[in-house]
Amino acid sequence: MLSGPIKGVSLQGLVASVPQAREGLEQLAKRFGYEAAERIAKATGIYNRRIAGDGLCTSDLAHAAAARLLKELDWSADSIELLVVVSQTPDHILPSTACLLQERLGLSKECAAFDIGLGCSGFVYGLWNAASLMAANGLRRCLLIVGDTTSRILSPGDRNVAPLFGDAAAAAALSFDPETPNTGPGMVFDLGSDGSGAPYLMVPAGGFRRPSTPATRRRHTDKAGNKRGAEDLFMDGTQVFAFTLREVPRSLEKVMQRAGWDISDVDHFVLHQANAMMNRRLGRKIGASEAQVLIDLADFGNTSSASVALAMAHGLRAALLERPLRLVLSGFGVGWSWATVALTQQPLQACELIEVSEGTTAI
């Protein structure tokens, strides 16, 4: 259990970025049949996914979002003291994506920059890391970047994952002012992990435990008709669903209790956007109304570490620009890993969603 809230750190702006290219029911129907594609869409709430082409990497989506955010806030690049990048699909094994983006964005050499290798829980875990470091060290400005190009690590022939995952990134601007604490309880977090769930959502091969070989790269068709290889993303959806319903409601209830909020005090629950039915089920389990639980994945799919920030930038843009909101944000999945935060968000100075084309290097 974390000892207390983090005060004085606030979110000033948010920009999410997605590839222009879409893959929808028509493309899925060609691979799996129209009835199967439509059934999956109705069950998950996902009708389109944004797909990064060969010329677009995680850092490209991240750079576009961060550059736009700095411009909209009129923050100079050399005013950023901390850069935190959360991704499980980095451009390279090394160097870190954070170092690449530090140079590409023109940030100061005195800016601390590092990567965090998390997926679905990544935005809230990143927020906790960044806010903790800012408050402890008096850092005034930080860029928190989240993003994944999960389409690169899955088989197009695997109906368990291909219709679900899309690509996106987001950049959040954080500021710290010890003289102006957050309205309300500050940022109240609950974080957790359970590595026993690792086998149920993973890429089994291609790392150092099981290096890439012709055999691991070869794709086979299983008994259910799914075509994948050992270097492709594997997901056991039943286990994911069970984990979510077991751990996430408790995490949501913990942060509300620590914040001193009742369910009616929360304007919106912004949950990891993996499955619309699952998030509605979570909402019912904690007694939230349908209006409180944001569902915003129909045109994007499951965008892993970027999903919470993307849902905020797209689904809550108008509200975030206009008025204070009491929010509960929660990311959960691969690991198993989960992270939840309750915060009172003052109106943002910038909030938008942008589309990125291949070959984009700046905004």
For the stretch 48-88, pLDDT in tens is 999 999 889 999 999 999 999 999 999 999 999 999 999 99
Q: What is the mean pLDDT of residues 122-131?
A: 98
Do 176 and 139 contact (CB within 8 A), yes or no? yes
Do 134 and 176 contact (CB within 8 A), yes or no? yes
252: left (phi over 0), alpha (psi -120 to 50) or beta: alpha
Beta strands in 150-282 (DSSP E): 167-176, 188-193, 201-202, 220-221, 227-228, 234-235, 268-271
Tell me the CATH number at 314.
3.40.47.10
Q: Which 8-state DSSP code applies to residue 95?
A: S
Cα 163 from chain centre: 18
| 11 contact partners, CB below 8 Å, separation of at least 6 | 172, 173, 174, 343, 345, 348
**Residue 223 — very low, low, confident or very high, per pLDDT cuts 50/70/90?**
confident
CA distance 280 to 282: 5
What average pLDDT does the structure give for the chain? 95
> What total of structural domains would you count in the chain?
1
**Residue 184 — very low, low, confident or very high, per pLDDT cuts 50/70/90?**
low
Q: What is the mean pLDDT of residues 261-288?
A: 98
196 has a pLDDT exceeding 60: yes
What is the pLDDT at residue 4?
Answer: 72
Q: What is the mean pLDDT of residues 258-265?
A: 96
The dihedral over CA atoms of 203, 125, 89, 30, expressed in degrees to the nearest 10, equals 70
Which positions are catalytic?
120, 272, 302
Do 17 and 60 contact (CB within 8 A), yes or no? no
CA distance 162 to 144: 28
38 has a pLDDT exceeding 70: yes
362 has a pLDDT exceeding 70: no
**Lowest-confidence range among 212-221, 330-339, 353-362?**
353-362
Find, among 130, 76, 127, the residue nearest to 106 by Cα: 76
pTM for this predicted structure = 0.96
What is the pLDDT at residue 361?
Answer: 47
Beta strands in the chain (DSSP E): 9-19, 22-24, 48-50, 82-86, 112-116, 141-149, 167-176, 188-193, 201-202, 220-221, 227-228, 234-235, 268-271, 325-333, 337-345, 350-356
| CA gyration radius, the chain | 19
214 has a pLDDT exceeding 70: yes
First to last CA, the chain: 41
Q: Which 8-state DSSP code applies to residue 302?
A: B
What is the pLDDT at residue 183?
Answer: 55
CA distance 138 to 205: 41
Structure tokens that stand for 150 in this block: 């999960």
Whole domain around residue 246: which residue ranges? Answer: 1-363
What is the pLDDT at residue 363?
Answer: 35
* In the chain, % of residues over pLDDT 90: 92
